[in-house]
């Protein structure tokens, strides 16, 4: 297949739109040829991940674009940077690196990107419509845009994201095209207790399982309740994009391209059908933790010896908010903190964006959280930049994505739990397990 | 001893930029294969795919993924042969950083297209005017690239020397 460029594309290459425009188009054309695209297509919006500092070369790239007059042509939000600009001093690390991280963030602002600094742009008002062609980076944002919004983006990453934003063009390949969006693997939920189906803890655990089994195929999930919340879908997608290369999933009866099972598969048969029961979910729980007593969970040992075998294990850090916490997630956390304030020697972090932070301030939540010793992090998150003070020990989280990246990025052990388990463990200083969460019947007082 | 006869590989990303300011004809190949510079080096064949992000230290050129069978090996100046990259899209940043620091391999030969590595090489060419070129080898050629085999690459021609 030969790439056909329009006259306008060719004018970009010739420098009619400035040096940065020519460079952005050269990179796009080179990548379109690598992927075997036959054309470029227009995009309506972009989400940029290149603003997170990884080293001097990323700064060289961004500053070259700024020097060449690079300006985005479509509404463009920014993913997290390596600094918390709202709370100076929150991020440690070398002053030289912090200065470069700031220069990188400034370079992207200079190109006209919005100062959203969030991995959940879709919860700050950046919500492309159904069928919209967009160029988004950051794996959880990609999977949310494709799956929950029904927008269309390939898996963009550093460098090519801003090239698409500057030119308003992207290679017409992959998930931009109808024929590549049909489901391939069916995950059928069977025999999962009703209270668990409605608990937010299901999202990351099911997502992690789906990502591991689907790898880069498109999963279809059947059996989620119609009332499944956006935050559960967000957590599911983020976990699936961490454990696998999932960029699009369909949830039958919930996501816009899956009004029915047949529609999700484009009237074709699944390549594979995987039944997901409670035991498979409990096996996945083990994979989300690195502390031995929980990672050696065996599915057939029975309820009492499975989930909860790590109860009492000391914990040192609790990290929430990957993807960034929404207003609803914070609303669920605040009353837990009021009832179960954390031990002073447990570091508790909530990562979110500026908009949610302002809403929390207006509602009086920030005061409650800060008084209880909870550290709010904005514009960035604890697994991409040095914020956590502990160098060893155990971090507990309700995020599948944090659970996946914590051991490699922070060198801490990790334990996965529900939001309530995280809050009450921080209160106790050691792991507290909800005894009925993974049982057949919800326990007394369970609020599911 | 294999015959010193050239095999044909596909150029995914060439080492040097296409001429700037040119008018691209719609049927033109991205990079003129005849213009490729001569690259020589010994094969470093990876038994498993390597994610450069968390797998390669751009400061030293060392494979640092401790679960990788060739952990500890230096890739600098070698003809890096692997099935494909693996994992995070940040791999393109690591390739770019290794070019900035001069720790990069002499060339990369893959069995299949890897867009993330191709992007890193394309950007390196733009910013630093050089990159290890990336080639796709057909299966029979890929299988020959074993051990410390010394090879020459020029355009689409790969010769075992």
> What ipTM goes with this model?
0.86
How much is the pLDDT for A314? 96
- DSSP string of A85-113, one letter each residue: SSSTTS--S-HHHHHHHHHHHHHHHHTT-
How much is the pLDDT for A293? 57
Class of domain A7-178: alpha beta
> The tokens of A250 are what?
């369909």
- Report if residue B32 sits inside a domain: no
- Report if residue B104 sits inside a domain: yes
A16 to A75, A89, B10: CA distances (angstroms): 22, 43, 32
Contact between chains at B122 and A155 (C-beta distance less than 8 A): no
Provide the residue range defining the domain that includes B141. 6-15+37-160
Contact between chains at A34 and B12 (C-beta distance less than 8 A): yes
How much is the pLDDT for A9? 98
Catalytic residue among B51, B84, B88, B90: B88
Q: Which residue of B has its CA nearest to A35?
A: B115
How many contacts (CB atoms, under 8 Å) link A and B? 95
Give yes or no for a cis peptide into A237 (omega within 30° of 0): no
If pLDDT is split at 50, 70 and 90, which confidence band does B3 have? low
Question: Is it the case that residue B84 has pLDDT exceeding 70?
Answer: yes
Write down the domain spans for chain A: 7-178, 182-282, 289-428
CB atoms < 10 A from the CB of A125, how many?
10
Question: What is d(CA A327, CA A231) in angstroms, rounded to the nearest whole number?
Answer: 10
Q: What is the pLDDT of residues A153-193, one digit of tens each?
A: 999 989 999 999 999 999 999 999 999 999 999 999 999 99
- Give chain B's domain count: 1
How much is the pLDDT for A303? 41
Topology alike, domains A7-178 and A289-428: yes
How much is the pLDDT for A301? 40
Nearest to A159 among B26, B99, B119 (CB): B119
Q: What is the mean pLDDT of residues A36-51?
A: 97
Q: What is the mean pLDDT of residues A10-33?
A: 98
How much is the pLDDT for B137? 96
Question: Is it the case that residue B21 has pLDDT exceeding 50?
Answer: no
- Report if residue B24 sits inside a domain: no
Secondary structure of B106-141 in HEC code, one letter for each residue: CEEEECCCCHHHHHHHHHHHHHHCCCCCEEECCHHH
How much is the pLDDT for B26? 40
Q: What is the mean pLDDT of residues B91-116?
A: 94
- Report if residue B23 sits inside a domain: no
Closest Cα in chain B, distance from residue A155 (Å): 8
Reported residue count of chain B is 161
Write the CATH number for B83.
3.50.30.10
Question: Is it the case that residue A148 has pLDDT exceeding 60?
Answer: yes
Q: Which residue has the tokens 């880069």?
A: A216
Architecture, CATH, for domain A182-282: 3-Layer(aba) Sandwich (3.40)
Question: Is it the case that residue B1 has pLDDT exceeding 90?
Answer: no
pLDDT, mean over chain A: 94
- Report if residue B28 sits inside a domain: no
How much is the pLDDT for A300? 38
Contact between chains at B123 and A2 (C-beta distance less than 8 A): no
How much is the pLDDT for A291? 87
Q: Among residues of chain A, what percentage have pLDDT more than 70?
A: 95
Q: Which of A139-148, A229-238, A293-302, A359-368 has the lowest mean pLDDT?
A: A293-302
How much is the pLDDT for B27? 42
Q: What is the pLDDT of residues A238-260, one digit of tens each?
A: 999 988 889 999 999 999 999 99
Active site residue B93: no
Closest Cα in chain B, distance from residue A154 (Å): 12
Q: What is the pLDDT of residues A323-358, one digit of tens each?
A: 999 999 999 999 999 999 999 999 999 999 999 999
Q: What is the mean pLDDT of residues A273-294?
A: 89
Among A297-306, A395-404, A434-443, B88-97, top mean pLDDT goes to A395-404
How much is the pLDDT for A25? 98
Percentages of chain B per state (helix, strand, coil), in multiples of 5: 20, 25, 55
Q: What is the mean pLDDT of residues A260-287?
A: 96
Could you tell me the CATH superfamily of domain A289-428? Aconitase, domain 3 (3.30.499.10)
How much is the pLDDT for A216? 85
More confident residue, A448 or B141: B141
> The tokens of A235 are what?
């957590």
Contact between chains at A157 and B96 (C-beta distance less than 8 A): no
């Amino acid at each position: 297949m030969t790439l056909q460029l329009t006259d306008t594309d060719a004018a970009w290459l010739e420098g009619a739109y400035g040096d940065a425009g020519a460079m952005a188009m050269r990179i796009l054309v080179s990548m379109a040829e690598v992927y075997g695209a036959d054309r470029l297509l227009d995009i309506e919006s972009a989400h940029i991940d290149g603003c997170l500092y990884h080293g001097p070369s990323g700064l060289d790239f961004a500053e070259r674009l700024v020097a060449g007059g690079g300006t985005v042509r479509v509404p463009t939000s920014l993913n997290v940077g390596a600094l918390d600009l709202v709370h100076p001093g929150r991020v440690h690390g070398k002053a030289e690196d912090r200065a470069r991280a700031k220069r990188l963030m400034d370079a992207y602002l200079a190109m006209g990107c919005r100062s959203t600094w969030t991995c959940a742009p879709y919860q700050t008002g950046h919500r492309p419509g159904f069928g919209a062609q967009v160029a988004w980076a950051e794996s959880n944002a990609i999977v949310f845009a494709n799956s929950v919004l029904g927008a269309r983006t390939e898996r963009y990453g550093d460098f090519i994201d801003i090239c698409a934003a500057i030119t308003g063009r992207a290679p017409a390949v992959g998930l931009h095209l109808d024929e590549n969006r049909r489901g391939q693997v069916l995950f059928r939920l069977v025999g999962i207790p009703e209270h668990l189906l409605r608990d937010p803890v299901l999202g990351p655990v099911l997502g992690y399982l789906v990502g591991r089994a689907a790898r880069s195929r498109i999963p279809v999930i059947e059996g989620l309740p119609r009332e499944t919340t956006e935050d559960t879908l967000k957590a599911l997608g983020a976990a699936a994009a961490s454990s696998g290369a999932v960029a699009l999933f369909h949830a039958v009866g919930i996501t816009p391209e899956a009004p029915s099972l047949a529609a999700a598969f484009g009237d074709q048969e699944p390549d594979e059908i995987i039944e997901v029961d409670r035991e498979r979910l409990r096996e996945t729980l083990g994979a989300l933790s690195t502390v031995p007593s929980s990672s050696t969970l065996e599915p057939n040992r029975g309820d009492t010896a499975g989930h909860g075998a790590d109860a009492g294990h000391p914990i040192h850090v609790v990290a929430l908010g990957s993807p960034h916490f929404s207003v609803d997630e914070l609303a669920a956390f605040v009353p837990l903190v009021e009832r179960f304030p954390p031990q002073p020697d447990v570091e508790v972090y909530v990562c979110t964006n500026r908009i949610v932070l302002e809403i929390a301030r207006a509602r009086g939540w920030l005061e409650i959280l800060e008084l209880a010793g909870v550290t709010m992090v904005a514009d960035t998150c604890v697994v991409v930049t040095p914020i956590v003070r502990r160098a060893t020990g155990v971090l507990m989280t309700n995020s599948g994505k944090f659970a996946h990246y914590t051991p490699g990025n922070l060198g801490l052990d990790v334990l996965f739990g529900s939001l309530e388990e995280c809050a009450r463990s921080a209160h106790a200083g050691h792991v507290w397990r909800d005894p009925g969460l993974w049982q057949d019947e919800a326990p007394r007082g369970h609020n599911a | 001893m294999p015959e010193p006869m050239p095999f044909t590989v596909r150029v995914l990303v060439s080492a040097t930029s296409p001429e700037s300011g040119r008018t691209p004809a719609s049927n033109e190949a991205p990079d003129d294969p005849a213009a490729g510079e001569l690259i020589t080096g010994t094969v470093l064949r990876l038994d498993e795919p390597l994610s450069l992000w968390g797998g390669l230290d751009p400061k030293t050129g060392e494979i640092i993924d401790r679960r990788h069978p060739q952990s500890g090996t230096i890739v600098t100046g070698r003809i890096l042969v692997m099935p494909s990259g693996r994992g995070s899209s940040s791999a393109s940043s690591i390739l770019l950083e290794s070019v900035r620091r001069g720790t990069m391999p002499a060339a990369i030969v893959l069995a299949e297209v890897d867009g993330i590595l191709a992007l890193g090489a394309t950007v390196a060419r733009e910013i630093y005017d050089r990159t290890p070129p990336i080639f796709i080898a057909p299966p029979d050629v890929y299988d020959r690239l074993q051990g410390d085999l010394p090879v020459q690459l020029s355009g689409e021609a790969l010769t075992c020397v």
